[in-house]
Amino acid sequence: MGKTDANGVDLSGVTGRLIQTVDLEKGPAPQAIATDTRNGWVFVLQMESGSQEDIEQGNMRLNRIDRLTGRVEGSMQLRGFGHGISMGVEPQGDTTYIWTEVGSAGATPLHLTRKDGKVTAAFGKAVTRFPYGDDTILRADDPALRKFTPPGSTAGTGPSIDPVNNLLCVMYHKGGKRTFTRYDLAAAAAGSWVPVDTTFVMSDCDGLPEPCVDEEETPAVPARYTLVDKLVSQGYTVLGDVLYWYQWAPYLVDEDPDTLPADGFPGVAFLTSYDWKDGKRFDRQVVTSADGLTRREPEGVAVEVDPATQETRLLFGFSNTVPGTTGSRDVTISWYPTKPAVDGVKVLADWEDLALEPGIQPGAQPPRGRLVALAGTTYLQLRGTLTCTPGLTADGRIATLPHRLRPTHLTRANVPRNNNAGRCVCRIETDISGGLRAYGAYSDNAITWIDLDGVSVVWR
């Protein structure tokens, strides 16, 4: 059983969906996520594909995604910035300012990790802020970049924004412990770095070797395969006096794609919440959202205020292998609500129009869908009617669901259709693609209309 924290987040509770299986600009997995709700963007950081030299340079790709359509609407390259531990997004009018880690000045601008004498990752040792520039290249040694290195920091660092309280949190490593300090966002943007309130030191790092990365013991949880001994960090964020830490325990299986679990779960994801005031762990839960992905790996966590409902939401992302490829990745972002259910019902996505296929028209009421949670179960509900003249004569796609409504497993229902020779019901199905398909049409028994008003099916 989970617990509801001071923000209203229950890590064992229901979750909604922001975007699903959006193909990224480059091949590697996403690393960090953040949103600009004022201008309607989702930003996703990913490592760049490249040579050993590229890895040492810490090159990243910043994807800009339309939050409504799920389309990638541009990207920029960050050369020599690091790994993408975390990120923050700060809208100023029509401009989006990005906060990330960055390589610092000096002979060793990046913190490098090695295995068997080879560099495996490069992390920025400072944080910086810059405006997003579509189709541009920004280099870590650009003289326009102002950088801040937390005092005493000895390894990689990363920023995250609390948009509710206008605070910037910076994670760094000091004295062998993972450490977090908050700053006023506007002051930090102006170059004034005065800590706000206390500094949080993660007690789980006590006694562990510096830089205290990926060294926390993996909890004993049910799993199909043996898990690695130590948890792998996948990002963090802060909301009020609660710190959220995203982690992963991969399976101990060969990385050959043919040996990966068929269900797409190459490990177990964890979200942990900590009380900033006393440093104690409040809750830890296995994350079960977004099942059904080809290769489901946790990547990135952030906070946003939904522009439509003004509800504060805890976002968390997953990487997935693009179907039909071996290395290309897409991203799915889910979220935890902070507002309680009303009369037992929580609306996770309000009514949205379905995109109809050519030749399909809306009836008296346009086809729409929404997500609601009741007693811990999430349901996809549809309503409205659609028509087709002269009619459907074969099974096929009739509409597409918005990203927020797409299930990650096959979902179906029987619905009314025009009565022709006693046939008055057809089947509709949808899945991770979001395509809504109709079955039961024949050349001698065409479907001319379908009624969706009674559809209420388990979404996950």
18-32 residues labelled b (16+ CB within 10 A) or e (exposed)? bbbbbbbbbbbbbbb
The pLDDT of residue 121 = 85
Q: Is the pLDDT of residue 52 over 70?
A: no
Give, in degrees to the nearest 5, the angle at Cα 40 between 269 and 84.
40
Mean pLDDT (whole number) for 69-94: 96
Check pLDDT > 80 for residue 263.
no
Tell me how crowded residue 191 is: count the other CB atoms within 10 A of its CB.
9
- The domain ranges of the chain are 16-336, 345-458
Residues 6+ apart with CB under 8 A from 143: none
CATH hierarchy code of domain 16-336: 2.115.10
CB 164 within 8 A of CB 149: no
pLDDT in tens, 339-398: 999 999 999 999 999 999 999 999 999 999 999 999 999 999 999 999 999 999 999 999
pLDDT value of residue 209: 39
Percent of the residues in the chain that have a pLDDT greater than 90, as a whole number = 78
Q: Nearest CA to 42 among 30, 33, 50, 31?
A: 33
Matching residue, tokens 């049409």: 441
| pLDDT > 50? residue 214 | no
Beta carbons within 10 angstroms of residue 306's beta carbon = 17
Residue 205 has a pLDDT of 46
* Per-residue pLDDT tens over the stretch 321-334: 888 887 788 999 99
DSSP 262-324: TTS-SEEEEEEEEETTT--EEEEEE---STT-SS-EEEEEEEEE-TTT--EEEEEEEEEEPTT
Residue 10 makes CB contacts below 8 A (sequence gap 6+) with 2, 3, 4, 336
16-336 with 345-458: one CATH topology?
A: no
Residue 279: closest CA among 212, 203, 196: 203
Rounded Cα–Cα distance for residues 418 and 449 (Å):
6
Domain 345-458 class, CATH top level: mainly beta
Secondary structure class of 458 (helix, strand, coil)? strand
280 close to 310: Cβ distance less than 8 angstroms: no
pLDDT in tens, 399-455: 999 999 999 889 999 999 999 999 999 999 999 899 999 999 999 999 999 999 999
| pLDDT of the residue at 207 | 38
Give the chain's radius of gyration (CA, Å).
23
